Chain A
């Protein structure tokens, strides 16, 4: 089947999303959006198994509530791509703004470059759904804040050290944050603790690392060792001891 190619120059997001939703519902498996410039909510709430190629810079909340499609973005993304995403993937060949993967509950978000503040905030997992956020570059403060499940992996390509911003895993009570190299403990948020990254962890994460590298044509062998810091919750009930009864 021929891909559906749309020149979205100057197009409002609502008619655009309507076309995408109807196309996916009608069985079209490949959609190409050209000249994307700031259109918000692309793929918002769309269900299906289509591939959506985005040439340009999508606006905020890319793939919000999305369930199924894969979006490959040849450009940067604005804030909150993958917001409350249920399933599917966002492959971003650039950098992304704040709150990437906010409350994501399934699927994966790969960002080749850097992300802003509050990346992976409130990511959560349930039963078979375990969301994955992989960042090729670095992240700003409050990475994985209130994280309740899933995996955040930051590779720090071109960065030394990988992360210099504070508040990593503030309030984390589920999931794990894995960061290339050593992480200064002063950067950890309340409720987060650093533990050793061992061979078992590497074996577990190797498919994710390879998947990410293949998507961006990066040599994965440079990342297949145990030179990572693993950050996990100090407790699954971080605030259980905060209260007394009236």
Chain B
């Protein structure tokens, strides 16, 4: 017996009085929702992903989208999603693939944290007329500084480890060429060059278009070693070993062959159309000692001139893992929370595995401090960071800087429709179809992303000034500037913050 079809997720309608049949909706929808028949625009709502491209491009605001126009009998346990997943898997027997970040309605800890502000006795600082120091250095810091005196001059004796110099604590996380388009990646690269910060290449090699911005890129090495050779390592300002990812902790990456076009095959150094499989483990890493060997081999290959980051997913024992990484000679630990985005992940992982970044960062910072090794690594938070308040709170919980991912894509047009894995992104982001890729102008895209980074940097300055701080150094790990609102005592203990009113 057939399982039949499930109700529409979205219902598209056109106000025919407004519509002037300009056909922009037909041209813009890469999912095939619209077609022309007998001079009439027909709609197949079942194909809609709510990407909003048609709505954004309609000059007459004639298109309307309604979510879940038909639903099942309501039930608190057997939600529509639960039922539809069962139907899908009963029909196919396969793993459900999903895009973007965790789509479950977990409480957002960031929204239960409130920042402090100065009042009468301790004046706030006005960033309009006072210098605010947001410059951030990522890398090892010496436990102490030693100097030598030479005929009255003082010289630094301590040898400093290589650090990345950021003008803002905001970086763009790793999204590979392959997962996203070249124009999307180019927009991000131009944006970080404009704003004095860095972006990650992801595990996809580096396309030659990115070479002019290589001093602002962090190259990634993952288990598949795609696109990795000595030239690639030397091009990056820093190197990141990807061990885990917040959207899919414990599993690897898999770029399907459909996305491996000629340019992608060239940067990844794999045959055209072949799958790019990055298994979960690095097969030369089975211990912290092995990780240390990979960290050192990367440093050795690049003459000990580049910081090496290690990225892990936020999981239950993340603090102990990070402490091990800090001892592996790595210069920074990237902790990616379970609301982090992805081009594709098994839905069951995306929505159920890992822990929130807020708790992970606090736990890691605490553990590194307890062990007296916090100076050995910088701490980068990522995974579900939506605004400058999330960034400020992350830093107050102990992060040195953050990676943003989805937010930077939204600045390029992304509407978080979650269909990245299909390769049909109508905004030209998660696709390799040239006609779609061309929808992004890297100059305009970079302006939008740079605007976002600049706006958030201004807001962070204002939040710091309001709290009486004029240096990001004074905000870092400053939990006194945070209070928990409606959080249980257990979580307050993990975050090492007090409750509101305390």
Which residues of A approach B to under 8 Å, CB–CB?
Answer: 13-14, 17-18, 21, 40-41, 44-45, 47, 60-61, 64-67, 79-80, 83-84, 86, 98-99, 102-103, 105, 118, 121-122, 124-126, 129, 145-146, 148-149, 171, 173-174, 236-246
Return chain A residues, CB-CB under 8 Å to B293.
Answer: 40, 60-61
With A122-B224, A124-B270: A40-B296 Cβ-Cβ less than 8 Å:
yes
Query: Would A64 and B297 count as touching, CB distance under 8 A?
Result: yes
Query: Would B95 and A242 count as touching, CB distance under 8 A?
Result: yes
Query: Would B275 and A64 count as touching, CB distance under 8 A?
Result: no
With A79-B284, A125-B271: A41-B297 Cβ-Cβ less than 8 Å:
yes
Return chain B residues, CB-CB under 8 Å to A148.
Answer: 270, 274, 277
Return chain B residues, CB-CB under 8 Å to A239.
Answer: 254, 275, 277
Complex Cα distance A146/B421, Å?
22
Complex Cα distance A239/B279, Å?
12
Complex Cα distance A13/B301, Å?
11
Residue B355 CB within 8 A of the other chain: no
Return chain B residues, CB-CB under 8 Å to A171.
Answer: 277, 279
Return chain B residues, CB-CB under 8 Å to A14.
Answer: 300, 304
Return chain B residues, CB-CB under 8 Å to A66.
Answer: 230
> Which residue from A79, A98, A173 sits with its C-beta under 8 Å from B275?
A173
Query: Would A65 and B301 count as touching, CB distance under 8 A?
Result: yes
Query: Would A121 and B283 count as touching, CB distance under 8 A?
Result: yes
> Which residue from A41, A83, A125 sits with its C-beta under 8 Å from B284?
A83
Q: How far is the CB of B221 from chain A (nearest CB, A)?
A: 8
Return chain A residues, CB-CB under 8 Å to B421.
Answer: 245
Complex Cα distance A213/B277, Å?
34
Complex Cα distance A125/B226, Å?
11
Query: Would A118 and B275 count as touching, CB distance under 8 A?
Result: no
Complex Cα distance A71/B225, Å?
22
Complex Cα distance A98/B293, Å?
14
Complex Cα distance A79/B422, Å?
39
Contact with A along B176-211 (1 / 0, CB 8 A): 000000000000000000000000000000000000
Return chain B residues, CB-CB under 8 Å to A65.
Answer: 228-230, 233, 297, 301
Query: Would B297 and A245 count as touching, CB distance under 8 A?
Result: no
Complex Cα distance A61/B285, Å?
12
Return chain A residues, CB-CB under 8 Å to B230.
Answer: 45, 47, 65-67, 86
Query: Would B275 and A245 count as touching, CB distance under 8 A?
Result: no
Return chain A residues, CB-CB under 8 Å to B273.
Answer: 236
Complex Cα distance A47/B225, Å?
19
Complex Cα distance A105/B269, Å?
9
Query: Would A45 and B300 count as touching, CB distance under 8 A?
Result: yes
Return chain A residues, CB-CB under 8 Å to B283.
Answer: 99, 102, 118, 121-122, 145
Complex Cα distance A149/B224, Å?
12
With A67-B229, A102-B283, A103-B225: A44-B297 Cβ-Cβ less than 8 Å:
yes
Q: List 25 A-B contacts (CB under 8 A).
A: A21-B303, A41-B297, A44-B300, A45-B230, A45-B233, A45-B302, A64-B297, A64-B301, A67-B230, A80-B284, A84-B225, A84-B229, A102-B225, A102-B284, A105-B229, A122-B225, A124-B269, A126-B270, A149-B270, A239-B275, A243-B97, A244-B88, A245-B97, A245-B422, A246-B98
In the complex, which residues 255-287 of chain B have their Cβ closer than 8 Å to any Cβ of chain A?
256-257, 265, 269-271, 273-275, 277, 279, 283-284
Complex Cα distance A238/B293, Å?
31
Q: How far is the CB of A120 from chain B (nearest CB, A)?
A: 10
Complex Cα distance A240/B229, Å?
27
> Which residue from B95, B277, B301, B302 sits with its C-beta under 8 Å from A244?
B95
Q: How far is the CB of A86 from chain B (nearest CB, A)?
A: 5
Query: Would A246 and B418 count as touching, CB distance under 8 A?
Result: yes
Complex Cα distance A41/B279, Å?
24
Query: Which has the most chain A C-beta neighbours within 10 Å: B95, B96, B254, B284?
Result: B284
With A243-B94, A244-B92: A236-B301 Cβ-Cβ less than 8 Å:
no
Residue B223 CB within 8 A of the other chain: yes
Q: How far is the CB of A57 from chain B (nearest CB, A)?
A: 16
Nearest to A99 among chain B residues (CB) is B284
Query: Would B275 and A240 count as touching, CB distance under 8 A?
Result: yes
Query: Would A61 and B297 count as touching, CB distance under 8 A?
Result: yes
Residue B347 CB within 8 A of the other chain: yes
Complex Cα distance A129/B229, Å?
13
Contact with A along B220-241 (1 / 0, CB 8 A): 0001110011100100000000
Complex Cα distance A129/B223, Å?
20
> Which residue from A40, A79, A126, A146 sits with its C-beta under 8 Å from B277?
A146
Complex Cα distance A140/B500, Å?
59
> Which residue from B94, B274, B418 sits with its C-beta under 8 Å from A236?
B274
Nearest to B304 among chain A residues (CB) is A14
Return chain B residues, CB-CB under 8 Å to A98.
Answer: 284
Residue B66 CB within 8 A of the other chain: no
Return chain A residues, CB-CB under 8 Å to B229.
Answer: 65, 67, 84, 86, 105
Nearest to B350 among chain A residues (CB) is A246
> Which residue from A118, A237, A245 sits with its C-beta under 8 Å from B257?
A237
10 closest Cβ pairs, A-B complex: A45-B301, A103-B225, A244-B94, A126-B269, A243-B97, A244-B92, A246-B98, A41-B300, A86-B229, A45-B230
Query: Would B301 and A44 count as touching, CB distance under 8 A?
Result: yes
Complex Cα distance A13/B229, Å?
20
Return chain A residues, CB-CB under 8 Å to B228.
Answer: 65, 84, 103
Nearest to A59 among chain B residues (CB) is B293
Q: How far is the CB of B286 from chain A (nearest CB, A)?
A: 9
Query: Would A243 and B95 count as touching, CB distance under 8 A?
Result: yes
In the complex, which residues 381-439 of chain B have their Cβ closer than 8 Å to any Cβ of chain A?
418-419, 421-422
Return chain A residues, CB-CB under 8 Å to B284.
Answer: 61, 79-80, 83, 98-99, 102
Return chain A residues, CB-CB under 8 Å to B270.
Answer: 124, 126, 148-149
Complex Cα distance A240/B223, Å?
19
Q: How far is the CB of A8 from chain B (nearest CB, A)?
A: 15
Return chain A residues, CB-CB under 8 Å to B296.
Answer: 40-41
Residue B89 CB within 8 A of the other chain: yes
Complex Cα distance A83/B418, Å?
36
Q: How far is the CB of B402 from chain A (nearest CB, A)?
A: 27
Query: Would A17 and B300 count as touching, CB distance under 8 A?
Result: yes
Query: Would A173 and B96 count as touching, CB distance under 8 A?
Result: no
In the complex, which residues 92-145 of chain B have their Cβ closer than 8 Å to any Cβ of chain A?
92, 94-99
With A84-B225, A244-B88: A126-B297 Cβ-Cβ less than 8 Å:
no
Query: Would B94 and A40 count as touching, CB distance under 8 A?
Result: no
Complex Cα distance A146/B223, Å?
11
Nearest to A104 among chain B residues (CB) is B225
Return chain A residues, CB-CB under 8 Å to B346.
Answer: 243
Query: Would B274 and A244 count as touching, CB distance under 8 A?
Result: no
Query: Would B301 and A122 count as touching, CB distance under 8 A?
Result: no
Query: Would A242 and B274 count as touching, CB distance under 8 A?
Result: no
Complex Cα distance A238/B275, Å?
8
Given contacts A149-B271, A245-B419, 9 further A-B contacts (CB under 8 A): A40-B297, A65-B301, A98-B284, A99-B284, A103-B228, A171-B277, A174-B274, A243-B95, A245-B97
